[in-house]
Amino acid sequence: MTVTPNPFPSSMPEGYQPLEDEPAFDAARHLALEAPGQIWSLADFGYGDDVIATTPSPVAAAGPFRLLTDEGVVAVQKVCRDLRDARRMEEGQRTSAYVPGAVYRSRFLRDLTNSPEVATFLSEIAGTRLLPHSMPSQQVYINYAPDDLSKAVDNWHVDSIGFDYVLMVSDPATLNGGRFEFFRGTMERVAELLDTQVSELTEGFADDLPSELVETIHFPGPGYALFQQGHLVLHRATRLFEVAERITLVPGYVAADQSGEDPTKVERITTWGEPGILAELARHAAWQSGVKLQNIVEHLPIADDTEAIIASLRNATADIDRLIDSLEEKS
Ligand SMILES: [Fe+2]
């Protein structure tokens, strides 16, 4: 069965101002896809078969790997700086820690994060076919370091989506601090260490964790990245010790294989204030259900009994039911 990515919405949410002057993305000139230095499996993290069976990729994290050419780095830096400055003007705020909706604002970033070359490359690393995230808002976030040096760039957290990579846009040689780290262990283990629940790990924790369980990723230069199954890998960016420009890009992906659980934290995302987010969630649920319904059309065994047929149909519509329940609870 051929699963195609969720198409880009035909209309744009209100409130996003597209960049007027930006480079055109060109895979041949901007991409330099090189194999990751290391791959950590979910089993390496201590995850058991019960968790591993819920996701089509056995990989927890992989990297660092080169993703951009020098020319690609210059182009991405320009777009990220222009978006930061435009957002500051838009909102009149001193600092924006991140820019949401970047694929609506930048054609360059939309083309980069929807690049089939990158998706194929990441799919090989993940061991399962990955597609650009079915929610455009999750196709890329741009993160900037806060001006306040006492604050971490990003506290320990897990992501609300399944797969992403963290691309170092700034030159890491210019940074004092601002290290990217992940916890090499399970969510249960870290929840215990942080004295919290697994379900709370999206929220951000400032605690230090045992150093023997923490991996620091040394990006060799700008344009290098780390891939992760972000909902199962607790990670952070430590604080800077000197003011510096630290920009990272975080593009998100979904698995084409929809037989497992949806790692997207739908209930949490319904509370986010980004323009168009609820329609994005509806399109995400519809896309997932569409994949599952098509699977029934093509593969439902003709000899299935009533019970099996009900189970298949319920499974196919579960994503839509889950979203409806969540929205009804909210309203
Ligand atoms: Fe994250």
Q: What is the whole-number distance in angstroms between the Cα of residue 98 and the centre of ligand 1?
A: 12
Check residue 90 and give its pLDDT: 58
Give CA separation, 157 vs 143, 145, 231, 273, in Å: 14, 16, 9, 20
User: What is the rounded average pLDDT for all residues in the chain?
Assistant: 94
Reply yes or no on whether the pLDDT at 300 is more than 80. yes
Three-state DSSP state, 107: helix
Domain ranges of the chain: 27-261, 265-331
* Confidence (pTM): 0.95
For residue 93, the model assigns a pLDDT of 46
Residue 158 Cα to ligand 1 middle (Å): 6
- Ligand 1 centroid to Cα of residue 310, in Å, is 37
Q: How far is CA 196 from the centre of its chain?
A: 23
Q: How far is the CA of 208 from the centre of ligand 1 (A)?
A: 17
Give me the pLDDT at residue 321, please.
Answer: 96
Q: Ligand 1 centroid vs 62 CA: distance in angstroms?
A: 15
| pLDDT the model gives residue 88 | 67
Ligand 1 centroid to Cα of residue 231, in Å, is 8
Contact 86, 17 (CB under 8 A): yes
Say how far apart CA 242 and CA 233 lie, in whole Å.
28
Average pLDDT over every residue of 96-118: 92
103's tokens:
């694929």
Q: How confident is the model at residue 226 (pLDDT cuts 50, 70, 90)?
A: very high
Ligand 1 centroid to Cα of residue 217, in Å, is: 14
Fold (topology level) of 27-261: Jelly Rolls (2.60.120)
Centre of ligand 1 to C-alpha 107, Å, is 23
DSSP strand pairing (38-41 vs 224-228): unpaired
